[in-house]
A and B are shown apart, each in its own frame.
Chain A
Amino acid sequence: MILTAQTLPDAEALLAELLRQIAPTVGKNTALIGIRTGGVWIAERLHKALGLNIALGTLDVSFYRDDFEQRGLSSQVRPSTIPFSVDEQDLILVDDVLYTGRTIRAAMNELFDYGRPASIRLATLIDRGGRELPIAAQYVGATLDVAPNRNIELQRTDDGRLSLVLREDTKAAGH
């Protein structure tokens, strides 16, 4: 199926699907960590819906990216905040779109600089294939075929609703 703006899935529906998959696996040591920016939006919604005790963590992986040489530092780096000890926790990393796997590699490297988690699982709204690293998501909202010159982006409206848009990829293909 060729993906067009019309055939893009509804982000809210995918979010519900993710929630359905994650809910049965949550334990007392489960903590959510969203990856900036889209992953944090999703993680915030999941965190609330799951009613987790442990506060939500957010990661900005800018300092761990492997394309720093080519792209330089993003002009809007924000601090990562992990408001709990990651040691012996069961972490669920949350991202919007899983593609090459490089962002997840960076995120895991950063997490290990905070400590030694018991386990890390990955939740993503969309898996678009095209992996360059041996990384897989345990929770997937939808699997889509996207042309290499296109990007799927998550957007959030003022009332907090999530939606997906398709864009020409102007930058080099990467994360």
Chain B
Amino acid sequence: MKILIHGGRVVDPTSGLDRIQDLCIAEGRIAAVGSIPDGFHPDRKINASGMIVCPGLVDLAVRLREPGYEHIATLESEMSAAVAGGVTSLACLPDTDPPLDEPGLVEMLKHRARQLNQARVYPLGALTQGLRGERLTEMAELTEAGCIAFTQADAPIVDTAVLLSALDYASTFGYQVWLRPQEHFLARNGVAHEGQVATRLGLGGIPVSAETIAIATVVNLMRNTEARVHLCRLSSAAGVAMVREARAQGLKLTCDISIHHLHLSEMDIGYYDSNCHLQPPLRGQRDRDALRAALLDGTIDALCSDHTPVDEDAKQLPFAESDAGATGLELLLPLALKWGDETGTPLAQTLARVTCDPARILGIDAGNLAIGRAADLCLFDAERYWKVDAQSLKSMGKNTPYFRMELRGRVCFTLVEGQVVYEL
């Protein structure tokens, strides 16, 4: 199968290339960018004029909800949401039922995902058995089965000694540990940022110190280990400042934020909008501004969707009783573009935060348009507006703070390994 994508504006965030030119695909790989090689006879031509051709997106935080939560979302539904959002590689979280703490479960998931032949799935293994924060999982076995890093998802490790050994053990074999920094006790009764809005609405608060204490713990433990840690979903200005400082001291620390914390603040809760019940909570406007700036200067490495489909019934409850989380796979690209627009960031740099930068964290060869590289591509119309609603979203999760908003940037084609897996 040979495909010619002609007339598109080709943007490669890795090399900084940004030019209207053709792109040739042969045998699933990028065969040429710019001039069409002699004797290249495409089986299919895609007219990409008016579109942007870029590497497929890489999403660091996706809940596929299988196994165990098929009533909320299925692998089929969420994988099709991924490609509809231009996402060609994704890391999936282990907080399924049962959690991904055994090689068999991981193999089954990889197998099912491969059969669907859509985005590439990179499972994150459970760091502790049952995510209970007590006993370590068989990390070597899990790595062999396909896990690319280990995490607790949102489950706490209350016992700091367990966290220390998890970091020690993982670093022995060079495994990466992904942690969402949140101190358990300070956060356990909270559902919103401890600030103006929670005070007004009478919602239990989660102080910023829940995040900074957890970061301080991780950073201090890292000093005595060789651990490679990725911090997930930062939410506060103080948290970002600590990461910046730790990195300046030479620690191997990376971090990401979600599309929600990039644009929203506690104010968006309004009158108890449960779509804004998120973990970590939406924080103050100054926090949001600091996160936006840190994504720009590279302190924050990547932007992720934190895709968490939630059962409609579980949102139709008073705020604190509703489940936290929101759908995101199909919003990652338009919300990255919105941030890029608002901050005046060049397109290649904007796209880097959702392509090559997360790919680097995952340690996979993705997010670039090098010749010979697997043709995982996203073609989108940056000028096209679309409305976020139940019809337009492929994900079974329809809950999002952006519901009914008009967003700019619509994916037109998604290719994985040189095959068109999504077409608008």
Q: Do chains A and B touch in the complex (CB under 8 A)?
A: no
Chain B interface (Cβ within 8 Å of chain A)?
none
